[in-house]
Amino acid sequence: MPELPEITVIAKQMNKEITGKRIATIEAKQPKNLNMPVQKFVKTAKGKTVNNVSSKGKWIFIKLNPAHYLLINRGMNADILHFTPNHKLPPKYQFKLTFTDKTGFTIQFQWFGYIHLIPEKDLTTHKLTAKLGISPTDKKFTLEYFKKLLANRKARIKNFLVNQKNIAGIGNVYIQDILFKAKLHPNQKISTLSGKEITNLYHAIQTILNHSIQLGGLAYEKDFYGQKGKLTITKFLVGYKTGKPCPTCKTPITKIKTGSTSSYICPKCQPLK
Ligand SMILES: [Zn+2]
């Protein structure tokens, strides 16, 4: 499932390719992804121009002129692929948006996913994105902000960090190496963390996510040009590496159940205190 690094990479590429372009036609073969009937969706989008493309957590925000947003969530693993008149379209797609210059993009969902078109004034009340926390790559996500966010919280650290309402963009893939790097057990209570541990955790979040962004994201996710990222599982520190030696102390990595999800930890470097 794509998390913040993969979405950041694709949103930047989309911003570069489609900014300033005017929507000519839309083909939507799977109405359940949309937030309104297909005909209305097409009519509303047609003729609008892309102002810019950004991302927040696992969502892509395409700002349109005049005053609308196209919000895309890739769900489990949707491919969003750029096309130009000289390139063949992908063999399968459920959504196709073409600009007046005949370039555009297709979307092929694997499972669920959303393409919502909303007036700009409804952005603050849009059910799925309005309550998202700040992304760790946002300028507003400072150490001070992070400390305030964790103050007086009673939750366990992993559950808190993967909750998109607290921080947008971290899921079960990147959380593993973040907690290992910060030397924290996933079930550690936030109230027990020292100031130094919170500072280390803040830097671990930045380091792990930015490292992946630099590598173009995960090796099994495609970017806007159909290229796969360079972050393979062999490059993970502990994530998905049950039985392999811990990169710090060589203790075998173990897989444990944490609520409804699995966690990969070094039992020696990440003891539950
Ligand atoms: Zn270790």
The 10s digit of each residue's pLDDT in 216-252 is: 999 989 999 999 999 999 999 999 999 999 999 999 9
In the reported structure, the alpha carbon of residue 250 is separated from the centroid of ligand 1 by a whole-number distance in angstroms of 6
| Nearby residues of 167 by Cβ (< 8 Å), 6 or more positions away | 57, 133, 134, 135, 136, 141, 149, 161, 205
pLDDT band at 191 (very low <50, low <70, confident <90, very high): very high
Q: Separation of 211 CA from ligand 1 center, angstroms?
A: 21
Contact 29, 89 (CB under 8 A): no
- How many angstroms does the Cα of residue 13 sit away from the middle of ligand 1? 37
Tokens at 169, concatenated: 């963009």
Which amino acid type is present at position 5?
A: P
pLDDT band at 118 (very low <50, low <70, confident <90, very high): very high
Average pLDDT over residues 71-100: 93
How much is the pLDDT for 117? 98
Mean residue pLDDT across the chain: 96
* Overall pTM > 0.85: yes
Query: How far away, in angstroms, is 183 Cα from ligand 1 center?
Result: 9
Query: How many angstroms is it from 239 CA to the middle of ligand 1?
Result: 13
Ligand 1: distance of its center to the CA of 186 in Å? 14
**What is the distance in A from the centroid of ligand 1 to the CA of 99?**
52
Can you say how many angstroms the Cα of residue 196 is from the centroid of all Cα atoms in its chain?
A: 27
Report CA(162)–ligand 1 centroid distance (Å).
23
The pLDDT confidence band at residue 267, using thresholds 50, 70 and 90, is very high
pLDDT tens for 169-179 read 999 999 999 99
**How many angstroms is it from 269 CA to the middle of ligand 1?**
4
**Residue 208: band (very low, low, confident or very high) from pLDDT cuts 50, 70, 90:** very high
> Predicted confidence band at 101 (pLDDT cuts at 50, 70, 90)?
very high
Q: Tell how far the Cα of 217 is from the centroid of ligand 1, in angstroms.
A: 25
Q: Ligand 1 centroid to 268 CA: how many Å? A: 5
User: Residue 240 C-alpha to ligand 1 middle, in angstroms?
Assistant: 15
